Structure 1
């Protein structure tokens, strides 16, 4: 395994926020590398083909580099092109398809990072891994059948098929509407009493109208109990029903890799939110020299941080790392509400 010289910073995650951190590191003249287990902006690449961002293009910009979109809300393809051009034109040091297996803090306060391809040491680590890789499983019978997916890509695949979409967030609503408009027979199963309030404001009336007219069937206050090769068993307020079915798309959300955070020694809040501990002024965790950036900071509150409101993390982190003579931080507040004296 190849061993590299000690770096100032290792950035884990090659999404928009990881790229933003690299741009800031370059400004400060610090040595760095981005380690990304998949392709460039891997999570965005795996978003649905026709996805439209909630944010306008200027709110997705990094380092004041203009994001020119032909639409009021940019599409996935435009975002892929934007972040690719930033990475290549700035010649950012990024290693793609290199998964981080472990991070170990050494006695000399350096951090050893072992990947599938090499071993590194670094003075600082920035974790910007997002949350899109681990679905929230329902843990029901039949969830592992080939007809079941926790991700949605293109509606053409489901044309003419009886498809159940589980969930009422943006991803579930987009999937239901797209599949319906490609000739699919769509049924939504929604745990809540209605479509989620966080659904994009220009989309929510559309799905409500399609449900009311019967174009998209929906069972509210309901949950899937079992999936078989031919049908699905659903618990509804009126009792259990079975529906003949070809495909099930479980869009019930995703979660950060908490085990990875814990393996580094980062503490999580004891409640169901599981919010990592970090200094809200510097983004440094309870492990000195390890920082968090982006949506990973929200724990299970995956709706809290987005590209547009976490871009600032890059500057906060790099300003802190760049300080040559760090003074005692005093009474600063951590994400778990505790203070440092």
Structure 2
């Protein structure tokens, strides 16, 4: 059984930052990622542009040079991949962690391919894998997707976009510009205030001019093969429909956290318990890093404000190792 000082679950930007910090401080480490390098970013829409500027996406003070101030997906993939390869990080790709168990002061980490032992574990798995479901009849139809990739697919089709976040607005605008007939179904009375400031006026103008139809204060009640049943302030309406993009957000894998012994708050936020000064959870030796720390408040943590987690965690690990040696 392979044994390391630190095993990092998740090979996203913050998981990579943790690996870099561990390597720099002389700790043996392993990053285990269920997909490719920065798997969540790889699954972002092909044309996505980040809200953050390139310097705010940098890790370990490695410069991120992009064509524009706010980089696009392909530039981010290149940046993080080159960091992994040039630093020869110890990372296992397409290997999914299935269980974390603590026994006799060590962690046993089981994956679909192997079993590892580690003195400490860092969970940095993000939140992009589990969509917030609508919970309506027909949501499992083939025409429904909770992920958006390329607008070309929806050209000349009647497309319903559910939601009003950045991903929903980007999808609506891009698909409309590629010739889709776009209708937005929005629970709130307006487009979300956190939508990228250079995009929000665009979608508002497209709605006001009638290029994109929007139903505010509305909810989808049922999805059928050729239509959509929507509850609006004016009553129930039926919309002709070919495809549905239900872009209503995502959530962390809470079951995985609880299985590892991490306590979650009992309210709707489901915040995991951890010390913000060290990022250690209620399970001694088990740490959290990145957006996973926010529970259902997935808008609270980003790459730019959670990069520091790597240094906090590794500093705490080194301090505790030194204390244990002294005793």
Q: TM-score range by the shorter chain?
A: over 0.9
Q: Which of 141, 145, 153 is the equivalent residue of 1:145?
A: 141
State the partner residue of 1:93.
90
State the partner residue of 1:200.
196
Matched, 1:245 2:241: yes
Task: Provide the rounded CA distance (Å) in 2 between the counterparts of 1:72 and 1:14.
Answer: 25
How big is the shift at 1:325?
Answer: 3.3
How big is the shift at 1:322?
Answer: 1.0
Matched, 1:310 2:306: yes
Task: Provide the rounded CA distance (Å) in 1 between the counterparts of 2:210 and 2:55.
Answer: 38
Q: Which of 215, 221, 229 is the equivalent residue of 1:233?
A: 229
Runs of 4 or more off by more than 6 Å in structure 1? none
Task: Provide the rounded CA distance (Å) in 1 between the counterparts of 2:53 and 2:115.
Answer: 39
State the partner residue of 1:48.
45
Task: Provide the rounded CA distance (Å) in 1 between the counterparts of 2:18 and 2:97.
Answer: 18
Task: Provide the rounded CA distance (Å) in 2 between the counterparts of 1:70 and 1:81.
Answer: 13
Task: Provide the rounded CA distance (Å) in 2 between the counterparts of 1:118 and 1:318.
Answer: 25
CA root-mean-square deviation = 0.7
How big is the shift at 1:72?
Answer: 1.4
Q: Which of 106, 110, 117 is the equivalent residue of 2:113?
A: 117
* Residues paired across the two proteins, number: 323
State the partner residue of 1:81.
78
Structure 1 portions without partners, runs of 5+: 328-341
- The 5-angstrom pairing of residues 222-301 of structure 1 reads 222-301=218-297
Matched, 1:178 2:177: no
Deviations 1:101-153 (A, max 9, x none): 000000x2100000011000000000000000000001100000000000000
Q: Which of 207, 211, 226 is the equivalent residue of 2:207?
A: 211
Q: Which of 146, 151, 170 is the equivalent residue of 1:155?
A: 151
SS of residue paired to 1:325: helix
Matched, 1:13 2:10: yes
Structure 2 portions without partners, runs of 5+: none
Task: Provide the rounded CA distance (Å) in 2 between the counterparts of 1:299 and 1:207.
Answer: 29
